[in-house]
Amino acid sequence: MAKYKRILLKLSGESLMGDKQYGIDEKRLTEYAAQVKEVVAMGVQVSIVIGGGNIFRGLSGASKGFDRVKGDQMGMLATVINSLGLSSALVAIGQKARVLTAIRMEPIGELYSKWKAIEAMENGEVAIISCGTGNPFFTTDTGSALRGIEIEADAMLKGTRVDGVYTADPEKDPTATKFDRISYDEVYKRDLKVMDLTATTMCKENNLPIVVFDMDTVGNLARVMRGENIGTVVHA
């Protein structure tokens, strides 16, 4: 029996690069698709939001002279490319998927609504929700929090290359220690970069737990669903 019945899985665009410097690593994409299919087979309803940082990041574009609004819109389009890639990888292994976009762009994807996403999940499809919130100045973290709350997910899972939340960046500080559980308030107090503040506040106010775990280790998504003690749970 899976620990969560319905989840919002947030994947970073950078993680799709795998060992590449840019774009999409087909091997990593296939591994992610297989992990998602595995938990759908466990009876979990899955929706996914993917970032676009492997292709274009609006904020870094703005620092190089791009108009911030146009830069963020370019970032939204990058999330659509990643969503189409993951959708294709899922369908290739026999897992139905539907791409929804926060900005109207048929026939690339259907215009997102809460009810379309829930209908897709209840029909055994993976709902891949792209374009973030559809607005500039909001990150895909915030888009994930918003969609997770809207679709009434039991938890938001943040799949990263790090195996949880630490007292400091474990890639820079060898003395950093990992939390098994941590409250939203503690995240604020310690100024930990779990997600941006807007996303974290939304999850706190709507009592949506966040599970931060290492998605790059194959099988970890199913381990979280089985309730194994991996990653970090951020809770009220």
Torsions phi, psi for 145 (to 5 deg): -60, -45
- Give dist(CA 68, CA 71) in Å, integer: 5
Cα–Cα distance for residue pair 77/174, rounded to 1 Å = 37
pLDDT digits (tens, 9 = 90+) for 210-226: 999 999 999 999 999 99
**Are the CB atoms for 164 and 212 separated by under 8 Å?**
yes
Confidence of residue 77 (pLDDT cuts 50, 70, 90): very high
Closest CA to 234 of 5, 10, 2: 10
Q: What is the pTM of this model?
A: 0.95
Report which of 139, 151, 136, 168 is spatially closest to residue 206, judged by C-alpha positions: 151
Is residue 10 over pLDDT 90?
yes
Q: Which residue has the higher pLDDT, 187 or 58?
A: 187
* 185-207 pLDDT, tens digit each: 999 999 998 999 999 999 999 99
Integer-rounded Cα radius of gyration of the chain: 17
- Residue percentage of the chain with pLDDT more than 70: 100
Q: Convert the pLDDT of each residue in 132-176 to its tens digit.
A: 999 999 999 999 999 999 999 999 999 998 899 999 988 889 899
Q: Which two tokens stand for residue 144?
A: 């994930």
What are the boundaries of each domain within the chain? Answer: 6-235
Indicate the residue type of 128.
Answer: I
| Average pLDDT in the chain | 95
CATH fold label, 6-235: Carbamate kinase (3.40.1160)
Q: What confidence category does residue 90 fall into, taking pLDDT thresholds of 50, 70 and 90?
A: very high
Rounded Cα distance between 5 and 154, Å, is 7
